[in-house]
Amino acid sequence: MITMKGNGVQKSARLNRLKSEIIEYVASQPQCSAADIVDYLSNERKMRNHGLTTRKVGFFIPRYLSEMIGFTLDNTTGKRLYHLAS
């Protein structure tokens, strides 16, 4: 039986890159939705394998970026609009 050893360097590097890309986008486009973030990652940054859907962004940001990014609820649609936390 083979046991895996290591610290997960590539996994943490991908996570850090994903965090920095989301922070960069939200800083440049305040009041953006989760769909806007996924569109930016997939189409503009060509990060095809990022694994985030619009629903997963709603879980990812509070888990990893709660100190950096906040959200408000849109009154008409009920969607979260993300902005940099102050």
pLDDT at 1 over 60: no
Q: How many CA atoms lie within 13 A of 29 on its CB side?
A: 12
Place of tokens 């694994």: 51
pLDDT of residue 6: 58
Place of tokens 């970026």: 65
Q: What is the pTM of this model?
A: 0.83
Apex 63 CA angle, 14 and 47, nearest 5: 30
What are the pLDDT digits (tens) for 13-52?
888 989 999 999 999 999 999 999 999 988 888 877 778 8
pLDDT of residue 3: 59
Q: What integer best gives the mean pLDDT of the chain?
A: 87
CA distance linking residue 63 with residue 44, whole number of Å = 24
